[in-house]
Structure 1
Amino acid sequence: MPKKLLERFMPKPETLRNHKYLRIFGSLLDKPNLWSLNRKSAPGAFAVGLFVAWLPVPFQMFFAAGLAIFFNVNIPLSVALVWLTNPITMPFMFYAAYILGSKILGQETTEFVFEASWQWVESSIGTIGPPFLLGCIVLGLIFALVGYFVINSLWKYSILFKWNKRN
């Protein structure tokens, strides 16, 4: 597992501890596993981060940190992975979630034009909301499971590789 590479891109624990939204967790942030990168915390952090990245909510970093604390997995990695949802990737991800949700519910996809207004959200929540939210949750679960098992397998493979290299 490219541990050094991951550690280079992860935010520093001090940065996250002092973040204005994460300070509410207080002494919960004192668990050592929340900050260390090991074979138990990394796969879980990937699962948490990838799941939260699919949730269409503001403050995804806050939710990722809360779930990381709840599951006792690496906070910086969980928080960093929600950055997969950004203004460039979000339209593609959320449109895919809407299409998947529509297929699961057996509904026809309808064409719509997005408007950045609360009035549009209120008027569209009844039509595209249920398939969109279902698609987000399903894709979040799929990506979380795949991320968990891929990272877990890569970690085990790297350990076996190091052991074989010693002999």
Structure 2
Amino acid sequence: MPKRFIKRYMPRPEKIKAMKSLHFLGDLLHEPNLWHINRHAVCRAFLIGIFFCFIPMPFQMVAAGFFAIWFNANLPISVALVWISNPITMPPIFYFNYKVGAYLLGHPVLDFEFHLSWHWLSQRLVEIGVPLYFGSVVVAVLAACISYLVMQYLWRRKVRSDWRRRRGLRTDEED
């Protein structure tokens, strides 16, 4: 994985540590591994960020940030990946999760129109909510594990190609 590419778009740790709204975290933000770009921190960040982007819950970024701190993953990448599920992509992602959950639970996929009312929510919450959350957890675990493995592979492939390139440069210099 190109380290320079990631560093170019990441906020500086000093800038985030200076934010007054984050002072309640105290010394947690001073942990260096939360900001380092290495294979382990970035791969764990992908695992956490991708997992929470598929879970329908409020404050996904807060949960991703908490788990990034807990598992010593790269904090900015974990939080940024949650935005894969944004207001534009949420309906297709969560509908797919619902269909996966309904299929795995053996429930028929219901045709429904969303109505923002207490009556609709109280009647449909269990019928739709259980397959939605079950499917979301299944899809989130699968997508997170796949993203973790893909990032591990890409990072190692990049390191191997850099080693080969350097070895080729050394042999050219010796000739």
Aligned-pair Cα RMSD in Å = 1.7
CA offset digits 1:52-90 (Å, max 9, x no partner): 101111111110100001110000000000010111110
Which ranges of structure 2 fall in alignment gaps of 5 or more residues?
Answer: 168-175
The amino acid that maps onto 1:28 is L
| Aligned-residue offset at 1:119 | 4.7
Q: Following the alignment from structure 1 to structure 2, what is the Cα–Cα distance between the partners of residues 15 and 117?
A: 42
Aligned residue in 2 for 1:32: 32
Q: CA distance change for structure 1 residues 15 and 113 in 2, over 3 Å: closer, same or farther?
A: farther
Which ranges of structure 1 fall in alignment gaps of 5 or more residues?
Answer: none
Aligned residue in 1 for 2:6: 6
Tell me the matched-pair count.
166
Q: CA distance change for structure 1 residues 102 and 14 in 2, over 3 Å: closer, same or farther?
A: farther
* Greater share of residues in helix: 2
Q: CA distance change for structure 1 residues 11 and 136 in 2, over 3 Å: closer, same or farther?
A: farther
**Aligned residues with identical type, % of pairs:** 42
Q: Following the alignment from structure 2 to structure 1, what is the Cα–Cα distance between the partners of residues 115 and 147?
A: 33
Q: Following the alignment from structure 1 to structure 2, what is the Cα–Cα distance between the partners of residues 8 and 119?
A: 49
Find out whether 1:104 has 2:118 as its counterpart.
no
| Aligned-residue offset at 1:19 | 7.1
Q: Which entry has the higher C-alpha Rg, 1 or 2? A: 2
| Aligned-residue offset at 1:28 | 1.8
Partner SS state of residue 123, structure 2: helix
**Is this contact kept in 2: 1:101–1:133, CA < 8 A?**
yes
Aligned residue in 2 for 1:136: 136
